[in-house]
Structure 1
């Protein structure tokens, strides 16, 4: 996975059930149609930007990398509530890496890595990987409101865990355990300033982007967004179509499903990605894209001679974790956590990632059989981030965004019925993707209803046909909503994030051509990693 563009998979881990916005949110919509109070916003849009070095201290490795690349950073003042621009203000942090060919500069390109909750300042480091794009655009990174350097002390979730994503497990008792955890996590966010929580929304982040555009003196904004960033980009296209230039949406979410229930349809796609990995792990010589040398096959842990046997090994691990937590070093991997551990690693279908997952599954199998095991370095990082507050913990920043964007059902029984209805077809991942989230117990209602993103503004949508996190059916829903867009689907790929990450020249070339020359494909197309295309 391209770690520059896709900072973390955990940023997309959202779940729950969709529900209609609360009546309070509907009432708020009447007073906030688009909130474009030109005169009141002028002081924000024309503020002077004071650029400075990005490093904040000797331990700021990210800032050091930005400074070494020649980037500069700044903080802009924005309204907390765009319906009351004369009221309270907050700050958003931005970074800029100037176009390498000033004489051919086209404008500014803002890059969002997804999430919600993932900082964006470091995204300008993408520049050397895309020299043609970096020549034409000032690359802009932004930590969205309440995230990273744009964080506000009184907003956020005080958790001793990195993510709220858990499976409901195999029974009603384990479901009740998961619900109790979500209630505790929501309470950990309840200490926040409740008056600020409703303003964490994607609509407000889109408004912030437009203030950044105006303050930079750019008549239009170009954009590259991944995962959740595709929804943010679509919201901007809907709200500010005349200010949008060239927009690329990579691994698009279903705009009608986005919110606490974003992952609800993802169970079948995750199961399909697991089967794809199992075929690789079984040493199938005819496996497309992921063939390996005989030496590589000998190095793989033996998990089964066929894909079915490999999946049976995973089932064995799941049954054991359902009886008692697996001891993995100092960690405990139970039925709530196991599906998350697998799903996170299925976001990358490259050989190295698949080999890492195979090693971790072999380790979990040994733990299920009673052996004392020590986690691999990558598994240790994953478990530390998921189970403690020591890791990045993007969900601690992203949960207020999800809960501000769309209200969630507050009926635990409705979630349990949905899980049971789909358990046979989605036995491993369905209880995770359909489980409830802290939004089911959230202390503040959304200030506005979700955005209907339908617009004819042009855009380029790219994604993998087998994406386990934002399934292709949702990518197609985004394409239908954006009637002026074109879509490129990478066949035979089971990964999340394709531009510069999938080794697919057909995608990389099309994205670069659109951003540099403004040329969209004539029609929606499919292509393979080897470059073969189809209609």
Structure 2
């Protein structure tokens, strides 16, 4: 207890000190934003863009500067305008300039941001430091490395962990020798939160409201912890734990996949005309059979790790369930080729170097990661036994184990200090940010937060997830009218 208490007090002292540094930097800023046209790859009706300069290192606010690109979807109703709503779709590594317009138009063809919210705020998007049209980072990733992505491959045994460690070391070396290596220690969640406060200052706003998804929940939690009195209405949708996207969070992908898969199995069993099975148990058995098959007999472009990773991504949203049925049928060698859902390889591969590189910069810069290879091998063995569908992926070793720089400051400790102004939204069965992590963040916030839990599956609740009137009304009611629930609530499935 003594050690834990000492660490907590030290973390609280760091939060106070770093907030003070940010305050000084903000006070020195006074630049107004000059809105203009957006870059060609961002242009959407009504969207304006600009850039601001922020300190690379907030401990030295007068030192080197970098750029942060911002966008605005202005309220068209001045009489109802409350202020600004910063939005973040997650990542880390995802661009954000288009996100205000995407929310207005309905992300992924889904529900649209209600007019009451559009009237109440200027919706502000931004490319976080290191990303997109902000000063970007790179690890000079090859196309093969980009295809591997930022999630470690499912490890069948200890030898697979050793093999992955070599690939992880290569990525870490490339990040350390890249043209943006000078940014390595400073592309962190805490500094991005400080950038958000610089955006607030540049816009001339006393407070900001915020709507963050996935990793964006951790960014929002850090912001409202560092700047509680500058936080207006805070929405955290599909929350990470209070430690952010660290090794513990990645290990939750195993149980997250296992808890979410029954939703798909039930859906698939009810669909006619495919050979996956007519009961959830049969569908689950078919999945496990195919995973084992590709573990033992990989083919060009598809092994067991890739099979599981594609399946994991298709569990994010119920709308992807038909694609998952087609995928499983298409890779089943017992089916005739005509039944397979073939994917064309003619289209040029997307350049995801910046997205994946910035993911590593943030996740490795935020946390101190385990460095023991035998430790990773043990965790992989444990998680593969407990959560055989995907457990041996999140627990596998990644570039952060070999990162060339250490975190420059302790993590911001999420606490209940501040106004009660945080609304958390969470599905019961989220594969990417499972309920277990969200409950820890909810506990850390104490009376600052309320959490609305939804009897649903998938990653994302408001606008991006399965439609649920109860959940949507909770968010819209808070953003537009300030109705924060008096206590935690539960929304039944619809």
**Same fold at TM > 0.5:** yes
**Which residue of 289, 293, 298 corresponds with 1:320?**
293
Unpaired segments ≥5 residues, structure 1: 1-24, 284-296, 531-535
Contact 1:166 1:340 in 2 (8 A): no
For residues 242-261 of structure 1, what are the structure 2 equivalents within 5 Å?
A: 242-256=229-243, 258-261=245-248
Cα-Cα RMSD: 2.5
Q: Cα offset for 1:342?
A: 0.8
Aligned to 2:372: 411
3-state secondary structure, aligned to 2:54: strand
For residues 377-388 of structure 1, what are the structure 2 equivalents within 5 Å?
A: 377=343
* 1:478 counterpart = 2:441: yes
3-state secondary structure, aligned to 1:93: strand
For residues 220-231 of structure 1, what are the structure 2 equivalents within 5 Å?
A: 220-231=207-218
**Which residue of 246, 255, 259 corresponds with 1:268?**
255
Aligned to 1:358: 325
Contact 2:427 2:459 in 1 (8 A): yes
* Inter-CA distance 29–518: structure 2 relative to 1 (3 Å threshold): closer
Contact 1:260 1:403 in 2 (8 A): no
Contact 1:270 1:343 in 2 (8 A): yes
Deviations 1:78-112 (A, max 9, x none): 00000001110000000001112111110000000
* 1:337 counterpart = 2:300: no
Deviations 1:211-235 (A, max 9, x none): 0001101000000000000000000
Q: Cα offset for 1:254?
A: 0.8
Mapped to 2, the partners of 1:419 and 1:94 lie a distance apart of: 40
TM-score, length-scaled by structure 1: 0.82
* 1:170 counterpart = 2:156: yes
Mapped to 2, the partners of 1:157 and 1:449 lie a distance apart of: 28
* 1:127 counterpart = 2:104: yes
3-state secondary structure, aligned to 1:526: strand
Q: Cα offset for 1:473?
A: 1.3
Aligned to 2:482: 518
Deviations 1:188-241 (A, max 9, x none): 212234432110000000000000001101000000000000000000011000
* Inter-CA distance 324–180: structure 2 relative to 1 (3 Å threshold): farther
Mapped to 1, the partners of 2:262 and 2:444 lie a distance apart of: 31
3-state secondary structure, aligned to 1:254: coil
3-state secondary structure, aligned to 2:457: coil
Q: Cα offset for 1:349?
A: 2.0
* Inter-CA distance 40–166: structure 2 relative to 1 (3 Å threshold): closer
* Inter-CA distance 312–143: structure 2 relative to 1 (3 Å threshold): same
For residues 84-483 of structure 1, what are the structure 2 equivalents within 5 Å?
A: 84-125=60-101, 126-128=103-105, 129=112, 130-152=114-136, 155-160=138-143, 161-162=145-146, 163-192=149-178, 193-256=180-243, 258-283=245-270, 297-299=271-273, 301-327=274-300, 332-350=301-319, 353-366=320-333, 376-377=342-343, 390-391=351-352, 394-456=355-417, 457=419, 458-483=421-446
Q: Cα offset for 1:521?
A: 1.0
Unpaired segments ≥5 residues, structure 2: 1-9, 106-111
* Inter-CA distance 276–40: structure 2 relative to 1 (3 Å threshold): closer
* Inter-CA distance 150–156: structure 2 relative to 1 (3 Å threshold): farther
